[in-house]
């Protein structure tokens, strides 16, 4: 399994806080599927590095520094989920994979995926080749590219 990063912890705390509430060790532990003792240790380290405010037994909140990372991560998460869904990946799997990919992709890859999503959004409609992909993903069969579409592609090459 991938080693958890600061982003992982901060993301979970942010979601558990859901505004201004305090996140609790046991909830963080079950969200990350690690034991509470390790969470306590990690929270102490995050506190020392000023990502969280942590008092034993009272729970944890993000500092400004922690919240900034959480918001950046959340934004990457949203874009990645959107990207995978555009490709035809099931929403639940897209959600899970987005939550992993957001922590491991190089900035260049992440930025390019964001741009990909933006290009599609800017069209206000799903491009025909993406419809073809979705159909292929769903039905498992790749149809021959219709000649009219080939013509259309030619007109768009530059």
CB of residue 7 to Mn ion, shortest distance in Å: 7
Site for Mn ion in 110-149 (CB under 5 A): none
Q: How far apart are CA 95 and CA 82, in angstroms?
A: 9
**Cβ–Cβ contacts within 10 Å for residue 54, how many?**
22
Residue appearing with tokens 């491991």:
104
Tokens of 29: 């532990």
CB of residue 85 to Mn ion, shortest distance in Å: 17
Q: How far apart are CA 120 and CA 127, in angstroms?
A: 7
Site for Mn ion in 72-91 (CB under 5 A): none
Looking at 6, 32, 99, 105, which residue binds Mn ion (CB under 5 A)?
A: 99
Phi and psi dihedrals of 33, rounded to 5?
A: 55, 50
For Mn ion, give the closer residue by CB, 97 or 135.
Answer: 97
For Mn ion, give the closer residue by CB, 11 or 27.
Answer: 11
Is residue 34 close enough to count as binding Mn ion by CB under 5 A? no
Residue numbers at the binding site for Mn ion (CB under 5 A): 11, 99
């Amino acid at each position: 399994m991938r080693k958890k990063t600061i982003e992982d912890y901060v993301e979970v705390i942010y979601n558990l806080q859901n505004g201004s509430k305090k996140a609790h060790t046991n909830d963080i532990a079950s969200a990350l599927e690690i034991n509470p003792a390790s969470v306590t240790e990690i929270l102490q380290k995050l506190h020392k590095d000023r990502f969280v405010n942590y008092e034993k037994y009272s729970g944890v909140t993000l500092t400004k520094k922690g919240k900034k990372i959480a918001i950046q991560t959340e934004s990457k998460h949203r874009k990645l989920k959107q990207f995978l869904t555009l490709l035809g990946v099931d929403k639940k799997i897209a959600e899970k994979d987005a939550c992993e990919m957001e922590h491991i992709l190089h900035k260049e890859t992440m930025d390019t995926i964001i741009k990909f999503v933006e290009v599609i959004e800017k069209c206000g409609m799903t491009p025909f080749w993406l419809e073809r992909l979705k159909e292929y993903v769903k039905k498992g069969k790749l149809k021959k590219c219709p000649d009219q579409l080939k013509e259309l592609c030619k007109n768009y090459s530059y």
